[in-house]
Amino acid sequence: MIQASRPRVLGGVLAALLLGGGCSSSHSHKKVETAKVEDSWMARVPSDQMDDVRQAQLVVSTAEEHQKRAQVSLEDGKRDLQVAQERQKAAEARQQASVDALSAAQETGRADDIDLAQNDLAQANTEVAAAKAETALREKTVTTRESIEKARESELKVAEAELAQTRFLTLQRTGDVRAQEVDGDELARNLEEARAKARSDAEQVDANINEQQQAQATWEKLDAQTQAYGGSGEP
């Protein structure tokens, strides 16, 4: 059975980042030249002062994994849609065959043949309705998974922005004068913009999931009717 479960788009540390977690940047009195902390600068930071950076790097790695999983899930959903479309075509072909059989039975005028053909057509109509509903559900599922992939990408951008800011703040705390060359305000703006985008994408995921659940309810109802007729339903 197809399940339209609500994925954890905002999970754990990622959710905290999107909701405004993390430190704000300090203002610098020196002319700003860059919004990037160079790796060579971070290499001079004492190892025992790198815990926040390591944590931020772990969040980035987790976000990258989530994004890859979302991509795989989307590809699976697209394949499932193709299968459903083929099932719909097969059901429609059986429906047309039942229509032709009914016409042939009516020409003979034999009541038993006509009744049998009418029953077959009624079942074929039910199967087509269920097949169309499954195709609609698979389409909604693909739409949902596309939005989840987009949300995962936004989460990754949040994690990367948080890492960039954390590197800056760590460098600043060590007293490294090169921190004065970094535009901490721009890093903070980048992070807030990334959070806002991620929140918007997460809301779209919720909206798509609601539509997917409605499509699933419709398909389950029609599939139950197909089962009552003795149809195969979903393999």
pLDDT in tens, 132-149: 999 999 999 999 999 999
Hunting for tokens 């948080």 — which residue is that? 162
The two tokens of residue 147 are 């939005």
Q: Which residue has the higher pLDDT, 41 or 27?
A: 41
Cβ burial of 185 (10 Å; 0-12, 13-18, 19+) is middle
| Cβ atoms within 10 Å of 89's Cβ, excluding its own | 12
Given a contact cutoff of 8 angstroms between Cβ atoms, the answer to whether 18 and 155 are in contact is yes
Domain range holding 187? Answer: 50-228
Given a contact cutoff of 8 angstroms between Cβ atoms, the answer to whether 149 and 7 are in contact is no
Return the pLDDT at 230: 61
Q: Is residue 20 part of a domain?
A: no
Q: Is residue 159 part of a domain?
A: yes
Q: Which residues pair with 168 in a beta bridge?
A: none
Given a contact cutoff of 8 angstroms between Cβ atoms, the answer to whether 169 and 25 are in contact is yes
How distant, in Å, are the alpha carbons of 133, 152, 176, 226 from that of 91?
Answer: 12, 37, 71, 12
Q: Is residue 14 part of a domain?
A: no
User: Residue 209's domain is classified under what CATH number?
Assistant: 1.20.1270
Q: Which residues pair with 34 in a beta bridge?
A: 182
Question: Per residue in 40-55, pLDDT tens?
Answer: 999 999 999 999 999 9
Q: Average per-residue pLDDT in the chain?
A: 88
Return the pLDDT at 228: 78
Q: Is residue 162 part of a domain?
A: yes
This prediction's pTM: 0.80
Calpha distance 158→80 (Å, rounded): 31
Instruction: Work out the percent of the chain whose per-residue pLDDT is above 90.
Output: 79
Q: Is residue 62 part of a domain?
A: yes
Calpha distance 69→5 (Å, rounded): 16
Structural domains counted in the chain:
1
Q: Is residue 200 part of a domain?
A: yes
Q: Is residue 234 part of a domain?
A: no
